[in-house]
Amino acid sequence: MRCPFCESAETRVIDTTPDAERRAVRRRRECPRCQRRFTTIERPIHLAPMVIKRDGRREPFDREKLLRGIQIACAKRPIPAEALERLVERIEARLQAMGRSEIPSRQIGDMVIAGLKELDEIAYIRYAIVYLGLSDLESIRREIDNLLQNRAREASPAPTEGS
């Protein structure tokens, strides 16, 4: 691993920590030449599926592009960066488990929308405006009303037998 500061090819690992899901390894490294420390994250290489866009174009799955889209929806919301990383990791794991060489962008979008709905309702609405193509206030209002109705259903106690 080259030092990002002095470009030396000689660096040494001083600490290794697996992430919580054991999908990546975080390594703390030190350069003997410039004495600076830096962190690397190692992940296994998986063959990324091709994403079939709505217009029929195909492009390789891009983890960073997915994360950026989620970060935009979550901007200025009290959501830890780790939660966004975990959401992207869950989506990646589902894509890997599917084992398909191509996947429609709509399917990835559905995974994002479901994850954001659990994570933060405002981020969900922001993403839904773009993803679902909500182009007027009425359609946005309907989506918010659906969200509120679902929340009310989940909060109300289940009816008991005989009542």
Tabulate helix, strand, coil % of the chain (nearest 5).
Answer: 45, 15, 35
Provide CB contacts within 8 A for 10, sequence distance 6+: 3, 31, 32, 33
pLDDT tens for each residue of 77-120: 999 999 999 999 999 999 988 989 999 999 999 999 999 999 99
Domain ranges of the chain: 12-42, 50-155
* Distance from C-alpha of 73 to C-alpha of 121, rounded to nearest angstrom: 10
Please tell me the predicted confidence (pLDDT) of residue 48: 81
pLDDT tens for each residue of 24-80: 899 999 999 999 999 998 987 767 899 999 999 999 999 999 999 999 999 999 999
Helices (H), ranges, 10-136: 63-73, 81-98, 105-119, 121-131
Burial label for 17, CB within 10 Å (0-12, 13-18, 19+), is: exposed
162 has a pLDDT exceeding 60: no
